[in-house]
Amino acid sequence: MTLIPFGEKIKEGLELSKKVEEFAFELKRKLPKVNDLNKAESQRIKVARAFLISESKLCRQIVFAVSKNCLDLALIGLRTMLEFDINADYIFNHPNHKNDLKWVDSLCNDIFKRTNDLGMLKSKLGGFSLKDRAKDVGCSEFYKKNYASLSSYVHLMLEQSYVQEDGEFEKLSLAVVSQALCILLDVIGSIAKFHNLQIDGKLLKEIISYRNRYESK
Tens digits of residue pLDDT in 141-176: 888 888 878 887 776 655 655 666 656 889 889 999
**The residue type at 80:** T
Q: Which pLDDT score is estimated for 197?
A: 96
From residue 195, give the alpha-carbon distance in Å to each of 27, 28, 48, 132, 170.
10, 11, 10, 25, 38
Q: Distance between CA atoms of 194 and 201, rounded to whole angstroms?
A: 17
User: Residue 171 falls within a domain, yes or no?
Assistant: yes
Q: Which pLDDT score is estimated for 159?
A: 60
> Residue 45's domain spans which residues?
6-215
The count of domains in the chain is 1
Low-confidence stretches of the chain (pLDDT beneath 50): none
Query: Which pTM value belongs to this model?
Result: 0.91
User: Residue 197 falls within a domain, yes or no?
Assistant: yes
Buried b / exposed e over 118-136, threshold 16 CB at 10 Å, is: eeeeeeebeeeebbebbbb
User: Residue 99 falls within a domain, yes or no?
Assistant: yes
Q: How buried is residue 21: exposed, middle or buried, by Cβ count under 10 Å (0-12/13-18/19+)?
A: buried
User: Residue 1 falls within a domain, yes or no?
Assistant: no
User: Residue 189 falls within a domain, yes or no?
Assistant: yes
Long-range contacts of 139-144 (CB under 8 A, 24+ apart): 139/86, 139/89, 142/82, 142/86, 143/86
User: Residue 37 falls within a domain, yes or no?
Assistant: yes
Q: Which pLDDT score is estimated for 153?
A: 73
User: Residue 146 falls within a domain, yes or no?
Assistant: yes
Q: Distance between CA atoms of 44 and 107, rounded to whole angstroms?
A: 9
Q: Which pLDDT score is estimated for 183?
A: 96
Q: Distance between CA atoms of 77 and 72, rounded to whole angstroms?
A: 9
User: Residue 34 falls within a domain, yes or no?
Assistant: yes
Q: Which pLDDT score is estimated for 157?
A: 56
Helices (H) and strands (E) in the chain, counts: 10, 0
Q: What angle, 0 to 180 degrees and rounded to 10, lies between the N-to-C axes of helices 6-30 and 201-210?
A: 150
